[in-house]
Structure 1
């Protein structure tokens, strides 16, 4: 069963109408981003775990929360689940004594360097790539995590079971499906796969329109 966040191509939500907006509409949005980055620097979870925490928000909350409300709510869940703070501390808005993670706090003068380094996810893979640019492939159906029922995956439901072709091979990368659940990085070959828009949506806005997805090798089989 797909989670509420996996809404690409879903009917009934209206058109997407991008409009110029400030990076942060409200002052607390910037603080939400800052505290999320600072908490991540404590080393208690990885990027894929963080993404999955937003996906796990209750459907009613996910539908009504704004973008940064999703971030801060998911962060609160992570902080409690990993024992960084207690529910009582969250409710009180302050810690109960010194944290054993205090020495890992991200200092202001370290932020620029940390952001510049990012979190590279490229890793070596023992075996060679199964596919090459130009190969026809079909994606796994259903779009599910093969390790954990209802778990994190980067294969969107709208692309499940679709036929496309390999556009580019990116080398080995951490597999989010495993990494999000503490099962190790399990690196696999990563590809950009291009699909005809009509293959995904039934009809295309314009003939020749294409959609590209970055997909891991275990999501794919020869077409």
Structure 2
């Protein structure tokens, strides 16, 4: 079963209006605060980026559908802080920590810029790739986390069971399906796979249109 965030190919939704360069704009001041809180909380080291993505996609369908982009961030962050024992529900309601005090891993403002510039590479030593550019592959069906029922995966439902062509091999990367749930990084070879739009959607908007996805090796079998 897929979650509400897995929306590709679903009828009834409005048109997607892309932001310039795929960047969600910072609007009201609370957007800046939401971003700052997310970065500061992530700096505590209590979860991975994959865990935070799973928290957002695990919001209730009603909330996910009505929340804006940064509202989703804040709701998921609140859930994670309570789940990890960093904040209580009473503290969230009051807006004040009891007792007030700094966390030993406090992420100070002056450290944010350098940390963002360094980035967080997810390449790791790992197995040699089983596929090469030009190989035909098929994605697993259904699109699911093989270890955790209802768990996080980066294989979208609309591409499950579809056949595509490997166009790039990126080496081994952290497997989000494991990392999101504290099962270790379990790096696997990562590929960019191209699918024809007509295969995925039944018809293409333009001749030759294709969809490319970055997919881990355990999502794929030879076609």
If the TM-score is normalised by the length of the shorter chain, which range does it land in?
over 0.9
Aligned counterpart, 1:7: 7
Distance in 2 separating the partners of 1:78 and 1:177: 18
Listed as ranges, the gaps of 5+ residues in structure 1 are none
* Map 1:26-175 → 2, pairs under 5 A: 26-98=28-100, 102-125=103-126, 127-175=127-175
CA gap of 1:172–1:29, structure 2 versus 1, over 3 A, is same
Contact map agreement 2:197 2:204 (CA 8 A) in 1: yes
Distance in 2 separating the partners of 1:181 and 1:51: 11
Superposition deviation, residue 103 in structure 1: 2.0
Query: After alignment, is 111-120 or 181-190 more displaced?
Result: 111-120
Superposition deviation, residue 206 in structure 1: 1.1
Distance in 2 separating the partners of 1:139 and 1:202: 17
Q: Deviations over 1:123-177 (max 9, x none)?
A: 011x311100000000011000001000000000111011001000000000000
Superposition deviation, residue 98 in structure 1: 4.3
Q: Deviations over 1:13-62 (max 9, x none)?
A: 02223466982121101110110000000000000000000011000000
After superposition, the CA RMSD in angstroms is: 1.4
CA gap of 1:141–1:152, structure 2 versus 1, over 3 A, is same
Distance in 2 separating the partners of 1:155 and 1:180: 14
TM-score under structure 1 normalisation?
0.96
TM-score under structure 2 normalisation?
0.96
Listed as ranges, the gaps of 5+ residues in structure 2 are none
Count of residue pairs brought into register by the alignment: 221
> SS of the residue aligned with 1:103?
coil
> SS of the residue aligned with 1:102?
coil
